[in-house]
Amino acid sequence: MTAAVTLGGPLAGGAASAAADGVTGTLVGLFVLLLGAKLGEEVLRRLGQPGVVGEVIGGFIVGPHALALVAPGDAAAVFAELGVVVLLFTVGLEVRTDQLAAVGRPAVQTAIIAMILPIIGGFGLAALLGEEPIAAAFVGLALAATSIGITSRVLKDLHVLDRVFARVVIGAALVDDILALLLIGIVGGIADGDLSASTLLVGVAGIGLVLLGFAAARRARGLPRHVFTWPLFADTPLVPAFLLMLATALLAEAIGLAAIIGAFVAGLIIAETEAAEELERDVRPLASVFTPFFFAVTGAELDLSAMLDPGILVLAVTLAVIGVVTKAAGGLLGARRIGGWAAATVGFGMIPRGEVGIVVANLALAAGVVEDALFAAMMVAVVLTTVIAPYLLAFSVPRAIKEATGS
Amino acid sequence: MTAAVTLGGPLAGGAASAAADGVTGTLVGLFVLLLGAKLGEEVLRRLGQPGVVGEVIGGFIVGPHALALVAPGDAAAVFAELGVVVLLFTVGLEVRTDQLAAVGRPAVQTAIIAMILPIIGGFGLAALLGEEPIAAAFVGLALAATSIGITSRVLKDLHVLDRVFARVVIGAALVDDILALLLIGIVGGIADGDLSASTLLVGVAGIGLVLLGFAAARRARGLPRHVFTWPLFADTPLVPAFLLMLATALLAEAIGLAAIIGAFVAGLIIAETEAAEELERDVRPLASVFTPFFFAVTGAELDLSAMLDPGILVLAVTLAVIGVVTKAAGGLLGARRIGGWAAATVGFGMIPRGEVGIVVANLALAAGVVEDALFAAMMVAVVLTTVIAPYLLAFSVPRAIKEATGS
């Protein structure tokens, strides 16, 4: 009761808010994260650097491993997940299935080559260092999967989502996620001694969902706006579309794919309807508010103390270099027909490992097949690949555009 | 690890999502809440009833006290709070301080009369039933405070926020919140035997914040859009405005006012700038997505089992009738100069007690001055006032409009 009649600390809350103190604390945390992300973006952009790296750094600075102003909890994680889901939904809204199908061949080639090369590289390095084959397989796998979040954001910021190389990256990332799902199932099953036909089933379900999404997108072509606004609660198509996005994202997650794949597919479907343009505009405010949380929380979760150990740092940098070179090579080989710089951009776009790499490293640790030092090195390597990609893209994208204009 | 290679339950999640299972569960809960709210709204609107009541009922139905499909946790509470904060921000964006100041007199009169009458009524009934004076004071207080959330939403849905009666309701609710803050502090202090000068300080701080907000709004008049978009991260004024809204809401909360008062004041300030129209448009998608959570969570938290006890139900209905009649009388007396139906609308708009009434009931229970049955009756009465208001408004608003046109 005292809280009701004293001012207390700056956020002690009054009587009317006594019951909501937990919520207020969480809102303060979200505010600090968003402010940190935006200040980080501002500083980096003033320095001529990619804004999204600033959001990650801003999140790191206010987060528990630096200033400790905020310790992101469940609500921040939900905002982060919604952030990347909404981001990929907006990417889907800007892509047409025809355009994606048109780059099917380079996309699939890139996905396969840019998955095999890092696995060979990671496996080879780990085997050279004397790791068991199963541990080496996990190292390779951690370097194999692409997380498309940061690349989507960079390509969006550069306004090049309509370019051929952007479509190839996105298509390749889609295929990549399905391949990674299969491989993680297989390697995890071997580690557990529990490999079963259900692994294959998961893969089939993943491919099925994406193909179904493509088919739905084709059938959705030219659907009138009224399809979304027939409910009385829907003044605009936004809320029905938002519900569809969430449902597809959760369905993808239920199958074992990333939620963002589902959100992207939902975007693809709606992109074909007559509500597409209006939705693109209406989703933008949601993306502006939610998306920074994804990058800020990514930053806040970075524990860079492992980088202080020179042994781990050297191993991590080596892994990261292998990760960068093999993905770049994958792009150059897989997408060589779309032009040199465009293919390089595709490869660079596949470099960030993000949350998929982190999940693989954690699986390996949980299965007891990698020791702490190797785990830490894998985590740091994942971080390095994620932070370096925007710089490489900022370098290659203008050249790819020039190359396309010149030819 | 098994989760990585088996399909498991519908939401067991695959390898790539193993680390995010908590987040996925929360997202499923949010999806169910939003879907429940929207289906509830759809059904009620098809029946010609207020949509917002449908959102509350939808939340109740999917919530823990009915179908138990979802148990709203921290994240849902944050979405709910952001929902009502964004709602009052949009209301602030549609109101000009001049217009608000122009109805200052009826607004203040209404706030005072519509606070004194329910206190007398609630205190009188409780005293008649043999309650201690301090318990009776809490009962009166629980009937005194207005929660403007539901009324804002109804007036917005009816597109009448620009009407005089809407401005009077909003102004009165503003004054009401400051008065309630003071009274809760005083009564709470007496119950604790801990009444101090700081109670007054809180009141002064509350009045100070609102006056400062008004002064800031006057100074903000005609500020160019560039004031919001000078940061490189701000392509549009949305993110800076969102940060300002959050900061002001949290500041109000820190002082002891409701967060929504801060958000409303932030809206008032921005409404005077040249970014107002663009922001009104850009905030709409955020309001569409966040606001239903406020009403759905309100519904999900309703435990109506107390209504099965006839004694409690009779007491609750009696309290609710006193609450409705005294607030309606407060509006009719305080705002009589703006017309009969308009004044009735003002009174009806002040009826919902919402979270403030719930907080007061909980304070009384925590202070040990009311027994469980009286507490339950207070809670049910709060619910009844909240649900009946949209119906009374739907009845009086068209008549108030007709009255204004006719005169």
Q: What is the DSSP string of A91-136?
A: HHHT--HHHHHHTHHHHHHHHHHHHHHHHHHHHHHHHHTT--HHHH
- Ranked by mean pLDDT, the top range of A194-203, B46-55, B114-123 is B114-123
With cut-offs at 50, 70 and 90, classify the pLDDT of residue B235: confident
**Per-residue pLDDT, A49:** 84
Q: Give A366 to chain B, closest Cα distance, Å.
A: 8
Nearest CA among A21, A23, A33 for reference residue A290: A33
Please tell me the distance from the alpha carbon of residue A398 to that of residue B355, in angstroms, as a whole number: 54
Residue of B nearest to A142 (CA): B16
- Mean pLDDT, residues B96-106: 89
> pTM for this structure?
0.87
Residue of A nearest to B19 (CA): A359
With cut-offs at 50, 70 and 90, classify the pLDDT of residue B57: very high
Please tell me the distance from the alpha carbon of residue A356 to that of residue A382, in angstroms, as a whole number: 9
**What's the ipTM?**
0.86
With cut-offs at 50, 70 and 90, classify the pLDDT of residue B6: very low
Residues B103/B168, Cβ–Cβ less than 8 Å = yes
With cut-offs at 50, 70 and 90, classify the pLDDT of residue B177: confident
Q: Give B22 to chain A, closest Cα distance, Å.
A: 8
A&B contacts, CB < 8 Å: 299
The pLDDT profile of chain A, 407 residues, written as one tens digit per residue, is 223 222 222 222 333 333 346 899 999 999 999 999 999 999 999 998 888 889 999 999 999 999 999 998 889 999 999 999 999 999 899 888 888 889 999 999 999 999 999 999 999 999 999 999 999 999 999 998 888 888 999 999 999 999 999 999 999 988 888 888 778 778 777 777 766 667 777 778 888 888 899 999 999 999 999 999 999 999 899 999 999 999 999 999 888 888 888 999 999 999 999 999 999 999 999 999 999 999 999 889 888 887 889 999 999 999 999 999 999 999 999 999 999 999 999 999 999 987 778 778 888 888 888 888 898 899 889 889 988 999 999 999 999 999 988 75
Q: What is the DSSP string of B8-53?
A: -STT---GGGGGGHHHHHHHHHHHHHHHHHHHHHHHHHHTTS-HHH
Q: Give B260 to chain A, closest Cα distance, Å.
A: 11
Contact flag B5-A201 (C-beta cutoff 8 Å): no
Residue numbers of B between 298 and 357 with CB closer than 8 Å to A = 355-356
User: Most A CBs within 10 Å: which of B1, B46, B146, B253, as the mutation test of the A interface?
Assistant: B253
Q: Give A271 to chain B, closest Cα distance, Å.
A: 18
Please tell me the distance from the alpha carbon of residue A143 to that of residue A384, in angstroms, as a whole number: 11
pLDDT at B218 over 70: yes
Nearest CA among A215, A216, A141, A162 for reference residue A367: A141
**Per-residue pLDDT, B78:** 95
**Per-residue pLDDT, A184:** 79
pLDDT higher at A324 or B49: A324
Is the CB of B23 inside 8 Å of chain A's CB atoms?
yes
Residues B347/B326, Cβ–Cβ less than 8 Å = no
- For chain B, percent of residues with pLDDT exceeding 90: 63
Please tell me the distance from the alpha carbon of residue B332 to that of residue B120, in angstroms, as a whole number: 17
User: Most A CBs within 10 Å: which of B289, B293, B362, as the mutation test of the A interface?
Assistant: B289
Q: Give B154 to chain A, closest Cα distance, Å.
A: 13
> What 3-state DSSP class applies to B330?
helix
Q: Which residues lie closer than 8 Å to A316 by C-beta, 6 or more apart? A: A306, A307, A376, A377, A378, A379, A380, A381, A384
DSSP label at residue B353: -
B242: number of Cβ within 10 Å: 24
**Per-residue pLDDT, B360:** 84
Amino acid, res. A396: S
**Per-residue tokens: B27:** 């997202």
- Mean pLDDT, residues B261-284: 94
Residue numbers of B between 99 and 138 with CB closer than 8 Å to A = none
Contact flag A246-B356 (C-beta cutoff 8 Å): no
Q: From the centroid of its chain, how far is CA A363? A: 18
**Per-residue tokens: A130:** 């004397």
User: Most A CBs within 10 Å: which of B78, B207, B358, as the mutation test of the A interface?
Assistant: B78
pLDDT at B348 over 50: yes
**Per-residue pLDDT, B14:** 34
- Ranked by mean pLDDT, the top range of A95-109, A234-248, B84-98, B341-355 is A234-248
CA dihedral (A152, A153, A157, A158) in degrees, to 10, reads -30
- The string of pLDDT tens digits covering residues B309-321 is 899 999 999 999 9
Q: Considering only CB atoms, which chain B residues are within 8 Å of A359?
A: 15-19
Residue of B nearest to A75 (CA): B75
- For chain B, percent of residues with pLDDT exceeding 70: 93
Contact flag A15-B184 (C-beta cutoff 8 Å): yes
- Ranked by mean pLDDT, the top range of A140-144, B372-376, B391-395 is B391-395
Angle between helices A372-406 and A354-366 (to 10 degrees): 160
Q: Considering only CB atoms, which chain A residues are within 8 Å of B73?
A: 74
Is the CB of B372 inside 8 Å of chain A's CB atoms?
no
Contact flag B255-A14 (C-beta cutoff 8 Å): yes
Residue of B nearest to A199 (CA): B5
pLDDT at B155 over 80: yes
